[in-house]
C-alpha cells in the first residue's frame, strides 16, 4: 500500500473519530435540558435491578450500558422500573405482526398499543431514540415474535442527569 493511500485512510479514520466525539459531546450537553426530574427516577427501580427477567446487561463500561430486552409472556406484566439514561432501541423487523402491549405508568395510567399487521422495514434493524424513561411497566397482551428472532437491544448512554 502506498504512503499516499495510508495517509488518506488515516485522515478518514481521524475525521470519523472526531465527528463521533463531537456528536457524543453535543448529545451529552443536550440531555440534561430534556431529562425529567430526579423524582421520576427513584432509587432502587433501575430496570436491571427490578426487572431482571426482561432486562439483562450484555455489555457495560463508563460510557454505555447495553441491555438485552425481552417481552414478558402474554398475560404478564414486568415490574415497574425506569431507564435513567437516554438510549436507542434496536429491534429486528421480522416482517410479521408487532406485539400488542400495554404501557403502564404510575397512578393507573395505561396506554394500549395494539399490534400492527404490516412490517415497517422487513428484514432490517429498526432504530428508535429513547429519552430517559420514567417509571413504567410493559404488559404483553399478544406476542407474535419467534424464539429464533434476534433479541431487542437497548443501548443506554450514560450521561449525568
All three cell numbers of 66, joined, read 447495553
Q: What pLDDT was estimated at residue 39?
A: 72
Residue ranges of domains in the chain:
1-34, 37-157
Helix (H, G, I), strand (E, B) or coil at 134: strand
Q: Which three cell numbers stand for residue 57?
A: 446487561
Instruction: Give the CATH number of domain 37-157.
Output: 2.60.120.10
Burial class (CB in 10 A: 0-12, 13-18, 19+), 75: exposed
As averages over each run of 10 residues, the pLDDT of the chain (161 residues) reads 58 48 49 57 95 96 96 94 96 85 95 83 87 96 85 92 58
- Dihedral pair phi/psi, residue 38, rounded to 5°: -60, -30
- Identify the CA nearest to 132 among candidates 45, 73, 50, 59: 45
Q: What is the largest CA-CA distance in the chain?
A: 66
3-state helix, strand, coil in the chain (%, to 5): 25, 35, 40
pLDDT for 13 equals 54
How many angstroms separate the CA atoms of 54 and 46, rounded? Answer: 12
Amino acid at each position: 500500500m502506498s504512503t499516499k493511500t495510508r495517509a488518506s485512510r488515516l485522515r478518514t479514520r481521524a475525521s470519523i473519530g472526531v465527528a463521533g466525539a463531537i456528536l457524543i459531546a453535543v448529545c451529552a450537553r443536550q440531555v440534561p435540558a430534556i431529562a425529567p426530574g430526579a423524582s421520576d427516577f427513584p432509587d432502587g427501580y433501575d430496570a436491571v435491578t427490578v426487572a431482571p427477567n426482561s432486562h439483562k446487561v450484555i455489555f457495560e463500561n463508563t460510557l454505555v450500558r447495553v441491555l438485552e430486552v425481552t417481552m414478558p409472556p402474554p398475560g404478564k406484566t414486568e415490574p415497574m422500573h425506569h431507564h435513567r439514561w437516554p438510549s436507542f432501541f434496536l429491534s429486528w423487523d421480522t416482517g410479521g405482526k408487532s406485539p400488542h402491549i400495554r404501557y403502564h405508568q404510575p397512578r393507573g395510567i395505561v396506554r394500549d398499543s395494539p399490534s400492527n399487521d404490516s412490517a415497517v422495514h422487513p428484514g432490517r434493524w429498526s432504530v428508535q431514540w429513547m429519552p430517559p424513561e420514567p417509571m413504567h411497566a410493559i404488559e404483553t397482551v399478544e406476542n407474535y415474535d419467534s424464539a429464533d428472532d434476534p433479541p431487542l437491544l437497548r443501548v443506554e448512554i450514560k450521561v449525568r442527569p
